[in-house]
Amino acid sequence: MSTLQNQRVVLASSPDGELKPSDFGLETDAMPVPGKGELLLETIFLSIDPYMRFWMRSEKSYNNPIKPGDLIVGATVSRVRQSQNPGWHEGEWVLAFSGWQRFAISNGSGLRRIDPAIAPPSTAVGILGMTGFTAYAGLRNVGRPKPGETVVVAAASGAVGSAVGQIARIQGARAVGITTGAQKLAYVKDELGFNAVIDYKAPDFAARLTDAVPDGIDVYFELVGGPIWDAVLPLLNTYARVPVVGLIADYEARAGEQAAPDRLANTMGQIMGKSLTLRGFIQTEFADEQLGDFLREAGTWFADGRLRHREHIVEGLENAPDALIAQLKGGNFGKMLVKVGES
Amino acid sequence: MSTLQNQRVVLASSPDGELKPSDFGLETDAMPVPGKGELLLETIFLSIDPYMRFWMRSEKSYNNPIKPGDLIVGATVSRVRQSQNPGWHEGEWVLAFSGWQRFAISNGSGLRRIDPAIAPPSTAVGILGMTGFTAYAGLRNVGRPKPGETVVVAAASGAVGSAVGQIARIQGARAVGITTGAQKLAYVKDELGFNAVIDYKAPDFAARLTDAVPDGIDVYFELVGGPIWDAVLPLLNTYARVPVVGLIADYEARAGEQAAPDRLANTMGQIMGKSLTLRGFIQTEFADEQLGDFLREAGTWFADGRLRHREHIVEGLENAPDALIAQLKGGNFGKMLVKVGES
């Protein structure tokens, strides 16, 4: 460890529309020093997630908005470099929420130990962490697929989407993925074992989706928003369930810039006419009660090869803004991580 | 009973936009004659309900669309005039689904006896029937208000809305109604005992609604759709529940005629960001399991004066189209009924 200073990525200005590199700033600070009872954490991996863009929205922010000057938040895989707390020792791997910086001080609260003997530590923010648990909790609490029912998910090669389809399959449902690009299409079908995969850029996308769900859609796991919803909505069955977890296509729309016509009345009409359930959630809602179940079950599925994952690793803290910008355009292939420190 | 012919109101043409009298036709048929095992029912009251307009939509119909030439459907309070079925006798009051006609044949299936000694028979399609049960089931299964939580409902002087607020109060929640017109505003506040009532035609409606819900909205019982939703949405609390039962303001919109801008992305964003639940339903989904509970509980509330109702009675089958047209414009004051036969 030769670094004697900390580096942090902050929000330079609230983005309007598409996120740009100039919306971020890279700052250098004094190296933080842990006090009594505290730890110095070194960030090894940053988890890059679409919700970060949602939290940067200036016009309407729901929870903990990221404002100009603020550190960009996010989960991290970190190591304890110094400990003034008898509960933790140097070298331990931990799941933390340090945000986009090389070093952080923690008093230990909210940290979770990662055992690197069980799985690579980076999985603690991915398939065996927040993203895998988001898929699991959305299916368990909202989607509730019954064996033989049809589950559809877009961004199907991504961190959450790939877990949704695989867990749905493990639970006996049919999984239909939506993505684009020859590599991702092949990965979802052949490696992840979805029953079908549809290219949303195909000119006959809606017809292909219809053909892929001969019994309609019972669960649509909403990660993307935008025009895919218009193709999904008429295919939803009576009593279909829609966990609403991400709306990546909508995050960068400018206020008031959404195109006519108004699609709300049709959506509400279908909610009423087909007795649909739409339910937004953030995985933290269910973590206290169900995270233990998930780690146990998903650990087994991961170990026996039924739950696969793929990581897209970008090197260097200074490249975190570009990594998020690329992810928002669908430029990642698998769980997006930034490797910050040496492990 | 001097009538020797039946009269029926049918759909003459699928309405486009606002419903007009010319969308209906009045037909005269031969008097139906019950066969072995059958009953002749005389319609005493027709229940007039907004969902009827929804079922007439030509572009997208979800369940049992009413097509040109079809009898207009609906629940009725009827009496048995002839019986060839030993299970029923002449003079009995029954809840039926005869539709908009003076007489109908039934084999008894789906009928429910009404005891006129307990409550006026017309309540069997109103406060102690489908409309009351819609309010009850929506609160019990979707809204689930906890004591002290805030329940908001529009069309608050109407059949379902008035029951929603009163049942919410009985269950210990705060009830805030939305309606318009001095008489209805006073009725909702003073006679029904809502905690607050707001005039949606007031120029500062959104500000008044905000003031009326200092702790935000936990349950919005959606009966109306349209612009009221835009005022409610930002006031919904995290984990708020929205039973979606009616969208009266949207039923008469012409296909593709909804005004810009697109409000869907904002609604979906709030569903996600505030972990909202939107759930459409039709009361029949819960009737097998919960109608008995409702009749028992609501019967008590009705008898002891805690559950009040008001009827808006129009005379004559031939005036049923005007009654529905008026209801869709908010011209009713209480449960809309058409009195067809002599009781």
Can you list the domains of chain A with their CATH numbers? 5-126+309-339 (3.90.180.10), 130-284 (3.40.50.720)
Q: Is B250 on the interface with A (CB under 8 A)?
A: yes
Report whether pLDDT(B304) > 80: yes
Report whether pLDDT(B34) > 70: yes
Other Cβ atoms less than 10 A from the Cβ of A343: the count is: 14
Which one has a higher pLDDT value, B268 or A58? B268
> How far B244 CA sits from the closest chain A CA (Å)?
6
pLDDT digits (tens, 9 = 90+) for B238-270: 999 999 998 887 777 655 555 567 889 999 999
pLDDT at B261: 76
> How far A92 CA sits from the closest chain B CA (Å)?
34
- Inter-chain Cβ pairs, chain A and chain B, closer than 8 A: 138
What is the widest separation between alpha-carbon atoms in chain B? Answer: 64
pLDDT at A56: 87
All residues of chain A having their beta carbon less than 8 Å from the beta carbon of residue B229 are: 264, 268
CA distances from A278 to A55, A221, A272, B39 (A): 21, 10, 11, 44
Report the residue of chain A nearest B245, measured CA to CA.
Answer: A272
CA B239 to chain centre: 26
Considering chain A, what is the average pLDDT of its residues?
A: 93
> How far A275 CA sits from the closest chain B CA (Å)?
4
> How far B251 CA sits from the closest chain A CA (Å)?
9
Q: Is A263 on the interface with B (CB under 8 A)?
A: yes
Question: Crossing angle of helices A130-138/A284-303, nearest 10°?
Answer: 100
Report whether pLDDT(B3) > 70: no
Task: Name the residue among B300, B319, B287 with its Cα closest to residue B45.
Answer: B319
All residues of chain B having their beta carbon less than 8 Å from the beta carbon of residue A63 are: 273
Report the residue of chain B nearest A63, measured CA to CA.
Answer: B273
Q: Which DSSP string do the residues of A73-91 spell out, in sequence order?
A: P--EEEEEEEE-STT--TT
Q: Is B267 on the interface with A (CB under 8 A)?
A: yes
Task: Name the residue among A223, A135, A130 with its Cα closest to residue A171.
Answer: A135
Strand partners, B60: none
Average pLDDT over residues B275-283: 96
Q: Which pair of structure tokens corresponds to residue A62?
A: 């729901």
Interstrand relation of A103-106 and A39-47 (parallel, antiparallel or unpaired)? antiparallel
All residues of chain B having their beta carbon less than 8 Å from the beta carbon of residue A273 are: 54, 62-63, 280
pLDDT at A250: 76
pLDDT digits (tens, 9 = 90+) for A305-322: 999 999 999 999 999 999
H or E segment to which residue A175 belongs? strand A174-179
Other Cβ atoms less than 10 A from the Cβ of B131: the count is: 25
Interchain pair A273, B63: CB under 8 A = yes
pLDDT digits (tens, 9 = 90+) for A94-144: 999 999 999 999 999 999 999 999 899 999 999 999 999 999 999 999 999
Coil, strand, or helix at residue B159?
A: helix
All residues of chain A having their beta carbon less than 8 Å from the beta carbon of residue B279 are: 271, 275-278
- Give the model's confidence band at A21: pLDDT under 50 very low, under 70 low, under 90 confident, else very high: very high
d(CA B314, CA B295): 26
Task: Name the residue among A177, A184, A126 with its Cα closest to residue A336.
Answer: A126
Q: Is A55 on the interface with B (CB under 8 A)?
A: no
- When mean pLDDT is compared across A228-237, B13-22, B226-235, the lowest value belongs to B13-22
Which of B225, B262, B279 is the closest to A263 by Cβ?
B262
**What angle is formed at CA A318 by the lines to CA A317 and CA A322, rounded to 5 degrees?**
105
pLDDT at A1: 47
Strand partners, A29: A6
Q: Is A255 on the interface with B (CB under 8 A)?
A: no
Query: What are the respective helix, strand and coil percentages of chain A, to the nearest 5?
Result: 30, 25, 40
pLDDT at B1: 47
Report whether pLDDT(A253) > 90: no
All residues of chain B having their beta carbon less than 8 Å from the beta carbon of residue A278 are: 271, 276-279
Are A253 and B232 contacting, i.e. CB atoms less than 8 angstroms apart?
Answer: no
Q: Which pair of structure tokens corresponds to residue B149?
A: 């939580």
pLDDT digits (tens, 9 = 90+) for A130-180: 999 999 999 999 999 999 999 999 999 999 999 999 999 999 999 999 999
d(CA A38, CA B81): 86
pLDDT at B206: 97
**Is the peptide bond between B261 and the residue preceding it cis, with omega within 30 degrees of 0?**
yes
d(CA A57, CA A255): 10
d(CA B173, CA B149): 5
Are A244 and A267 contacting, i.e. CB atoms less than 8 angstroms apart?
Answer: no
> How far A107 CA sits from the closest chain B CA (Å)?
29
Please report which residue ranges of chain B form alpha helices under DSSP H: 51-55, 130-138, 159-170, 182-186, 205-212, 228-232, 248-251, 264-273, 284-303, 320-328
Report the residue of chain A nearest B244, measured CA to CA.
Answer: A272
Interchain pair B265, A274: CB under 8 A = no
Sign of the torsion angle spanned by Cα atoms A210, A213, A218, A224: negative
Residues 6+ apart with CB under 8 A from B284: none
Mutation site, B223, B272, B278, interface A, largest A CB count within 10 A: B272
Interchain pair B250, A268: CB under 8 A = yes
Average pLDDT over residues A261-267: 88
Q: Is A144 on the interface with B (CB under 8 A)?
A: no
Q: Is A63 on the interface with B (CB under 8 A)?
A: yes
pLDDT digits (tens, 9 = 90+) for B172-196: 999 999 999 999 999 999 999 999 9
Q: Is B265 left (phi over 0), alpha (psi -120 to 50) or beta?
A: alpha
Report the residue of chain A nearest B235, measured CA to CA.
Answer: A62
Read off the DSSP letter of residue A212: H
Residues 6+ apart with CB under 8 A from B57: B14, B65, B251
Q: Is A285 on the interface with B (CB under 8 A)?
A: yes
Q: Is A214 on the interface with B (CB under 8 A)?
A: no
d(CA A324, CA A337): 9
Coil, strand, or helix at residue B205?
A: helix
CA A267 to chain centre: 25
Coil, strand, or helix at residue A271?
A: helix
Considering chain B, what is the average pLDDT of its residues?
A: 93
Task: Name the residue among B278, B206, B266 with its Cα closest to residue A262.
Answer: B266
For chain B, the straight-line distance linking the first and the last C-alpha, in angstroms and rounded, comes to 11
d(CA B75, CA B223): 19
Read off the DSSP letter of residue A156: T
> How far A55 CA sits from the closest chain B CA (Å)?
9
Q: What are phi and psi of B28, to 5 degrees?
A: -115, 130
Which of B260, B265, B281 is the closest to A260 by Cβ?
B260
pLDDT at B60: 54
- When mean pLDDT is compared across B133-147, B218-232, B253-267, the lowest value belongs to B253-267
pLDDT digits (tens, 9 = 90+) for B92-127: 999 999 999 999 999 999 999 999 998 999 999 999
> How far A250 CA sits from the closest chain B CA (Å)?
6
Report whether pLDDT(A73) > 70: yes
Interstrand relation of A39-47 and A76-83 (parallel, antiparallel or unpaired)? antiparallel
Asked if this assembly's ipTM is beyond 0.85, the reply is yes
Task: Name the residue among B7, B108, B56, B60 with its Cα closest to residue B319.
Answer: B7
- Give the model's confidence band at B274: pLDDT under 50 very low, under 70 low, under 90 confident, else very high: very high
Q: Is B285 on the interface with A (CB under 8 A)?
A: yes
Please report which residue ranges of chain A form alpha helices under DSSP H: 51-55, 130-138, 159-170, 182-186, 205-212, 228-232, 248-251, 264-273, 284-303, 320-328
Other Cβ atoms less than 10 A from the Cβ of A205: the count is: 17
Average pLDDT over residues A69-77: 95
All residues of chain B having their beta carbon less than 8 Å from the beta carbon of residue A285 are: 275
Q: What percent of chain B has pLDDT over 90?
A: 83
Q: Is B141 on the interface with A (CB under 8 A)?
A: no
All residues of chain B having their beta carbon less than 8 Å from the beta carbon of residue A283 are: none
**Side-chain-side CA neighbours of residue A125 (13 Å):** 30
Interchain pair A275, B279: CB under 8 A = yes
All residues of chain B having their beta carbon less than 8 Å from the beta carbon of residue A259 are: 260-262
